[in-house]
Amino acid sequence: NAGVMQNPRHLVRRRGQEARLRCSPMKGHSHVYWYRQLPEEGLKFMVYLQKENIIDESGMPKERFSAEFPKEGPSILRIQQVVRGDSAAYFCASSPEINYGYTFGSGTRLTVV
Amino acid sequence: DQQVKQNSPSLSVQEGRISILNCDYTNSMFDYFLWYKKYPAEGPTFLISISSIKDKNEDGRFTVFLNKSAKHLSLHIVPSQPGDSAVYFCAARTGNQFYFGTGTSLTVIP
C-alpha cells in the first residue's frame, strides 16, 4: 500500500539497543495508529495519536515504549533497550478522521538478536 | 483477552466456489466491523465494513453478514478466485480501538 509509508521495512537490533520505527500517514490523514503483530497472533492495538497529541496509549507497554506524532514529520515509535520479546511486525495505520476505516502501511519487521 | 476470535486458522476452497470466513466476538459494545485482507510481507488492506445497525453489506463479490444476537460476523466471497488467497482479519471497533482477530488463511485452489 503506497499510501502509508513505513520505514525501515526490516530492522535488526541487538538486545539493549534502541529501535526507531517511522510512519508517514496518507496525505490528509491526521490520525495515526500503531499495531503490533506477534508471531501466531492477531494485530494488537498499541497507541493512537493525532498531530502532537497522544490520544490513547492503553495498548502500549508502560516501560521502554514511546510514540510521537510531531507537527512536522512522521510518527515515530521508539523502543528503548529492546529485548527478544519485542521481535514482531509493527504496523502503522492512518485515517482521515476518528473511527474511520484504517489504511495500513506495509509494516516494519523488528528482529532482536 | 481475545475479544475477537477467528477459530479457523485456514480454509481451502475450489476456484469458483463460495468462501465463508467466520468471526465471533464477545464485546456487545462493538459498533463497527471490518474485514481486512493481508498478503505476505504487506500491510492489511481494507476490504469491507458493516455498521452494527445493519445485518448485511455487499460489495461486488464480497458480502459481510452480521448477527448481533449471536455476536457473529461472516465474510462471503463468491465466486472465489485464486487472487483471493490471503490472510483475512476481522476487526471490531469500540471507542478509539479496533480489535483484530488472529486471521484465517484462505487458499483458493485453481
d(CA A69, CA A65): 14
Name the residue with cell 461472516.
Answer: B74
- Residues B105/B8, Cβ–Cβ less than 8 Å: no
Query: Cβ–Cβ of A99/B4 closer than 8 Å?
Result: no
pLDDT at A100 over 70: no
Helix (H, G, I), strand (E, B) or coil at B30: coil
Q: Decide if A42 and B41 are in contact by the 8 Å CB cutoff.
A: no
Q: Determine, for residues A45 and B99 on separate chains, whether the beta-carbon distance falls below 8 Å.
A: yes
Q: Please check the confidence at residue A1 and state whether its pLDDT lies above 50.
A: no
B30 in reach of chain A (CB within 8 A): no
CA dihedral sign, ordered B55, B51, A106, A87 = negative
How much is the pLDDT for A98?
65
Is the pLDDT at B15 greater than 70? The verdict is: yes
Answer whether residue B49 shows pLDDT above 80: yes
β-strand partners of B4: B25
- The Cα–Cα gap between A106 and A92 comes to 8
On whether the CB atoms of residues B46 and A102 are closer than 8 A, the answer is yes
pLDDT band at residue B1 under the 50/70/90 scheme: low
Whether the per-residue pLDDT at B93 is higher than 50: the answer is yes
Tell me the range of A69-73, A82-86, A101-105 where mean pLDDT is highest.
A82-86
Grid cell locating B13? 476452497
Q: Is the torsion defined by CA of B108, B63, A32, A57 positive or negative?
A: negative
> Is A101's CB within 8 Å of B41's CB?
no
| Closest in A42, A59, A106 to B43, CB measured | A106
Q: For chain A, give the percent of residues with pLDDT over 70.
A: 95
Confidence of residue A2 (pLDDT cuts 50, 70, 90): low
* Cα–Cα distance for residue pair A94/A25, rounded to 1 Å: 5
Question: Is residue B42 predicted with pLDDT exceeding 80?
Answer: yes
For residue range B28-38, what is the model confidence (pLDDT) as tens digits? 999 999 999 99
Chain A residue at shortest CA distance from B98: A45
Count of C-beta atoms within a 10 Å radius of residue B15 = 14
Say whether residue B2 is in contact with chain A using an 8 A CB cutoff: yes
Q: Least CB-CB distance to A56: which of B32, B41, B96?
A: B96
